[in-house]
Structure formats: C-alpha cells, structure tokens
C-alpha cells in the first residue's frame, strides 16, 4: 500500500505491517532530508503532492512490484509538507520469502516512486533563497 502523510513517518508501525510469518527476508529504504543538494546548503524543504493522483500512481507501482517479484508485502509512505534536516521523507519496506526479491522490489518501488509519483520538492537554502528541485 502507498500512502501520503503530512505527519512524521512511523517506521516501526510500517515495519510491523510489512512483516509476515511466510517471509524470511525484509528489505527497507529510508530517505532522509540531507543538508546539501547540488552544491547548495539546504536549510529545510517542503514536499507538495497531487495527492489523489499520487496515491493512485503509488499503488500502481506497488502492484507492479508484486507482479514482477516474488514478494509477500510491500509498503511505501511519502511525506508532504515542511520538513527539516534529518526528517524522514520516504519509507519503503518489502517482505519476501527470500532476500533477492525483497532487495530488488524495494529498489524498484523507490526508483519508480521518485520518477513517476507526482510529488515535488521545494528547497530552502541557507543563503535565503528557495527553489523547486529538478530530478537528478
């Protein structure tokens, strides 16, 4: 399941939802707000989403991951709103019977979410300026 959240991501709860007695492996990625990007010192950032479409597209990606890989459960949550350095921006967790599928599906979900889900990042830099970030 894919979710958009305007509150801090609860990774402990997400992990407990992802684990399953039939799964022998769990792979997870946590994306955090870092203090620099493209040569600039970042002070904070804001994520904006087209929420309805983001949830549809995110769930489509999770479904694709289930079709492509032998996985048990997959969850992804992406933050929106104002975030500070060190805040968690995105969480992806996948459980599977074996590690290879869990690793690959986790990577697939993250990569696809970054490129396809309508979410945009606006950075505020320490020089007082701010701007929309283009995908690298």
Partner 1 sequence: MKKINVLFFGKLKELWNTNKLSLEIQCNDVDSLYSELLKTASEAPHKQSIKVAINDEFVEWDSSINNGDTIAFLPPASGG
Residues that bind partner 1 (CB under 8 A): 31, 47-50, 52-53, 56-57, 78, 89-90, 110, 113-122, 132-135
Q: 71 vs 119, which CB is nearer to partner 1?
A: 119
The encoded tokens of residue 37 equal 């990007």
- Kindly state the smallest distance separating residue 72's Cβ from partner 1, in Å: 24
**Could you give the CA distance from residue 128 to residue 122 in angstroms, rounded to a whole number?**
13
What's the closest the beta carbon of residue 70 comes to partner 1, in angstroms?
Answer: 25
How far apart are alpha carbons 64 and 134 in whole angstroms? 25
CB of 57 to partner 1, least distance (A): 8
Strands (E), the chain: 2-5, 25-32, 36-37, 40-49, 71-79, 81-84, 88-96, 119-125, 130-132
Q: Considering beta carbons, is residue 23 or 109 the nearer one to partner 1? A: 109
- In whole angstroms, the minimum distance from the beta carbon of 21 to partner 1 comes to 31
Chain-centre distance for alpha carbon 79: 8
**Left (φ > 0), alpha (ψ -120 to 50) or beta: where does 128 sit?**
left
52 vs 99, which CB is nearer to partner 1? 52
Which residue lies nearer to partner 1 by CB, 66 or 114?
A: 114
């Amino acid at each position: 399941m894919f979710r958009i959240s305007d509150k801090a991501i609860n990774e402990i709860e997400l992990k407990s939802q992802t684990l399953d007695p039939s799964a022998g492996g769990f792979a997870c990625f946590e994306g955090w707000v870092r203090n620099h990007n493209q040569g600039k010192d970042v002070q904070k950032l804001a994520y904006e989403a087209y929420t309805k479409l983001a949830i549809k597209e995110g769930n489509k990606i999770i479904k694709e991951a289930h079709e492509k890989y032998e996985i048990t459960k997959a969850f992804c949550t992406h933050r929106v709103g104002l975030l500070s350095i060190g805040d968690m921006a995105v969480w992806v967790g996948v459980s599977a019977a074996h590690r290879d599928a869990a690793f690959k599906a986790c990577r697939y979900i993250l990569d696809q979410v970054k490129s396809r889900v309508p979410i945009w990042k606006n950075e505020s830099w320490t020089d007082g300026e701010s701007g929309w970030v283009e995908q690298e």
